[in-house]
Amino acid sequence: MSYKKYYILWGCFLMCRLAGAQQVHVWGRVTDRSTGEPLVEAVVFAKGSTQIHAATDEGGMYEFSLKQGSYTLVSSYLGFDQKEITFRADRDTIVDFELEMNTTLKEVEILARARDRNITDVQMGREELSATEIRRMPALMGEVDVLKAIRLLPGVQTASEGGSGFSVRGGSPDQNLILIDNTTVYNASHLLGFFSVFNSDVLGGVSLYKGDLPLKHGGRLASLLDVQTRNERPERLQGTGGVGLIASRLMVEAPLGEKTSWMIGGRRSYADLFLKLSNREALRKSSVYFYDLNAKVTHRLTDSDRLELNGYYGIDHFGATMGEFRYGNGAASLSWGHVFSETLYAAASLHLASYDYGLESKLDNAKARWDSGIRDWSLRSDFTQPIGDRWNLNYGASVSLYRFQPGVITMEDYGDLQKEASTAMEYSLYLSNEQKLSERLTLKYGLRGSLFQNVGKATVPRYDENREIVDTAVYAAGQVYHTSPAVEPRAGLVWKLTEHSSIKMNYAHNVQFIQLANNSASGSPLDIWFSAGPNIRPQHVDLYSAGYFRNLQNHTWETSVEIYYKNLTHVIDFAEHATLLMNPDLEGEVRTGTGRACGVEWMLRRNTGRLTGFLNYTLSRSVRTIPEINGGKTYPAPYDRPHALNLAVNCELSKQWNIAATWVYATGNPTTYPSGRFEINGEYFPIYSGRNEYRLPDYHRLDLSLSFIPRPRSARRRRQSEWNLSIYNAYGKKNPWMITYDQNADSGLPYAEMLYLFGIVPSITYNFRF
């Protein structure tokens, strides 16, 4: 080789080394200055650049690469003041941020995520609402409701008028995993569904994942609703509350020393107090109320260790002289987070979730009580480990113990008649990675493995082809008698076309081991949870989705279009006229088959400015094919609603006045109508159409609200008040809740009658902060 060629090659090598040296690695941690606690999903970005940004992980860590030069990094987090740090990036550098809580009296909403996150984030089907956005929406009877807010999002439908259940992309309500501080909520309703169990004063934020669940969560086919309570450490005693027409609420929080803080919040309705004023004795002896309590204690052990204790408890009670009915949820968790290093964060947690209900008859000679419920205990560990600025690993494991109690009947003269309780265990492991291949292309992929085991004591029937019991098997306590393994791969990518647009694609396989026994679209607190087993296989879904995302006017406007296709196997439905309540042979009513769902979702959203809100439209179909139902013919799923249009607008007229409006439209729910009749001895009996062959009338509703914040008497006064006037169903649309059929006593002809729940419902609420 000539010396000339040698020098050329050596020069190229030096240029490559110098080019590599121009890239430096910057990382650090974002914490609360007063407590030292990590701030999760705080944003760090380079001032003047839309490309250099990162969000902190569960340990408050961030990282990215920079070219050599001078930079000003900015960190922001909801409820905290922004902070800027200027430095010279000549080599790998650690830049830590300590943020101070915003102390102004007016509620301030700081953008807690990068403005182009919807473009760069590889996660698809995720919708987020802040606590401020939810509180600004019009409310039924003055009670701000998380579940009513998320039903305004694309792909999400209400299960029924007045109900708390919701359907995501054609799925049933029990296919949604609902968490509060990472603990399962099995029934998220108060007052039979008119309100949700989530107190708006304790909310920190809400995230909805439509099918593409984070790999650390599983067990449901359709979605994950992740509700987090407040996580800020107060500097002094402070609180919020409100007094409405149907309920009042209060939240108080304060520090306890330098390392500990606490928060407690509660609500109570008082319709039963007004019944005491009635001139009718039966009403005076009646009671209708709900209450709930939230509590949280956080303690910083060291700069790297943090403990958190969360709790929720809620009860609904309906009482009369002839009997009473009550139901309630409980949720508790203890978690420990530890930062091992700048590149490794771990969390371990213990969770307890429960739901139970009871019916009691007080009639003479018929005194009885029915109790049912579900409990689960879970232990999990999760790790986050970024490797350089190209890899971000998440992995962990969990184990859960389920206890299903279908029912215990207690009769005064006969003692307890108990339907056998059942027990199950679920084990899971997961590993996921988000890999940045280039500035434009990012991949995410991973695998979740689950093992679901049915455990004795149990008596299990064996069925023939006609679902008749031909034999039973008896298993001893603690004996594993059935095992269902499952593998759930998930993958996705984002291809950044420009600074303001991207394309995303995603695949997810989800498995569900437990489900609700329910044969009505409206749902009920009396629905029974039961598990997969020897006679019922776990439900599976394959979800394929793709989307185009584009932001306008410097990310002021967000636009997107997403398409999806879902293929379901072993999907569950129930036989015609199935008996589910107090049925000792519930599994005999189950029918399984296949299902399909597909749709297109359009979204236009404005996040900043005095006028904010969104407009979305969903075109979708959801069908099922089950051999024993509808003669084996394909029929619409119970929550198949082809057209849905949602509009939410919020306008800040001034610092004192704010108006908001929401309008919703959706195709009516599928239903089964009588299509004929036959006569026996002068009495007519209906002949019903095919399953879900008809539809209820289309649903639409307009809600309005007006808020007024009086001027404080003094700039130093910390107390702040607000008056809110809301009108639910402003133009009085009579949306059907139920259609019943009867026979005219004189003519003998059948007739239909529509029942609706709400006309125009005005309400006024007084809110306060101190």
> What pLDDT score was predicted for residue 278?
61
> What pLDDT score was predicted for residue 21?
40
| Better pLDDT: 745 or 328 | 328
Contact 618, 154 (CB under 8 A): yes
> What pLDDT score was predicted for residue 283?
66
pLDDT value at 4 more than 50? no
> What pLDDT score was predicted for residue 659?
93
pLDDT value at 103 more than 80? no
pLDDT value at 13 more than 50? no
Contact 148, 156 (CB under 8 A): no
Give the single-character DSSP code of 537.
P
DSSP 544-593: EEEEEEEEETTTTEEEEEEEEEEEEEEEEEE-TT---TT-TTGGGGEEEE
CA distance 596 to 589: 22
> What pLDDT score was predicted for residue 34?
64
| Better pLDDT: 600 or 44 | 600
Q: How confident is the model at residue 246 (pLDDT cuts 50, 70, 90)?
A: confident
| Better pLDDT: 557 or 276 | 557
Nearest CA to 301 among 656, 36, 673? 36
pLDDT value at 515 more than 80? yes
Ranked by mean pLDDT, the top range of 325-329, 527-531, 641-645, 686-690 is 641-645
| Better pLDDT: 193 or 442 | 442
Lowest-pLDDT range of 88-92, 490-494, 501-505:
88-92
38-63 pLDDT, tens digit each? 787 788 888 766 567 777 876 677 87
> What pLDDT score was predicted for residue 275?
67
Contact 97, 62 (CB under 8 A): no
Give the single-character DSSP code of 199.
-
> What pLDDT score was predicted for residue 602?
96
Question: For the whole model, what pTM was predicted?
Answer: 0.84
| List of E strands, 639-719 | 643-652, 657-666, 670-671, 674-680, 683-688, 694-695, 699-708
pLDDT value at 259 more than 50? yes
Q: Token match 């059929």: residue?
A: 741
pLDDT value at 311 more than 90? yes
Cis peptide before 436 (omega within 30 of 0): no
Q: How confident is the model at residue 111 (pLDDT cuts 50, 70, 90)?
A: very low
Q: How far is CA 442 from CA 64, 495, 496, in A?
A: 14, 7, 9
Lowest-pLDDT range of 38-52, 99-113, 679-693:
99-113
The gap between the terminal CA atoms of the chain, to the nearest Å, is 81
- Say if residue 352 is exposed, middle or buried (CB neighbours under 10 Å; 0-12, 13-18, 19+): middle
Q: How confident is the model at residue 587 (pLDDT cuts 50, 70, 90)?
A: confident
CA distance 649 to 662: 6
> What pLDDT score was predicted for residue 9?
37
Contact 494, 122 (CB under 8 A): yes
> What pLDDT score was predicted for residue 19?
37
Segment 559-573 mean pLDDT: 95
133-178 pLDDT, tens digit each? 887 788 777 777 888 888 999 999 887 776 668 899 999 999 999 9
Question: Is beta strand 694-695 parallel, antiparallel or unpaired with respect to 670-671?
Answer: antiparallel
549: Cα separation from own chain's centroid: 23
Write the CB contacts of 54 (distance below 8 Å, at least 6 apart in sequence): 43, 44, 45, 62, 63, 64
- Radius of gyration, CA atoms only, the chain: 28
> What pLDDT score was predicted for residue 18?
36
Q: Token match 């003669």: residue?
A: 631
Q: How confident is the model at residue 1 (pLDDT cuts 50, 70, 90)?
A: very low
CA distance 230 to 207: 14
pLDDT value at 521 more than 80? no
pLDDT value at 423 more than 60? yes
pLDDT value at 14 more than 60? no
pLDDT value at 223 more than 50? yes
> What pLDDT score was predicted for residue 108?
38
- Say if residue 401 is exposed, middle or buried (CB neighbours under 10 Å; 0-12, 13-18, 19+): middle
Mean pLDDT of the chain: 84
Segment 409-424 mean pLDDT: 73
| Better pLDDT: 506 or 517 | 506
Which H helix or E strand runs over 331?
Answer: strand 323-341
Contact 242, 249 (CB under 8 A): yes
Nearest CA to 504 among 558, 541, 458, 549? 549
Nearest CA to 668 among 638, 710, 648? 638
- Phi, psi dihedral angles at 83 (to 5 degrees): -135, 140
Q: What is the number of H-type helices and E-type strands within the chain? A: 6, 51
- Phi, psi dihedral angles at 173 (to 5 degrees): -60, -30
Nearest CA to 328 among 142, 421, 191, 174? 191
CA distance 675 to 656: 57
Quote the percentage of the chain above a pLDDT of 70: 87
Segment 93-110 mean pLDDT: 62
Contact 60, 127 (CB under 8 A): no
Write the CB contacts of 608 (distance below 8 Å, at least 6 apart in sequence): 111, 556
> What pLDDT score was predicted for residue 41?
74
> What pLDDT score was predicted for residue 554?
84
Segment 725-752 mean pLDDT: 79
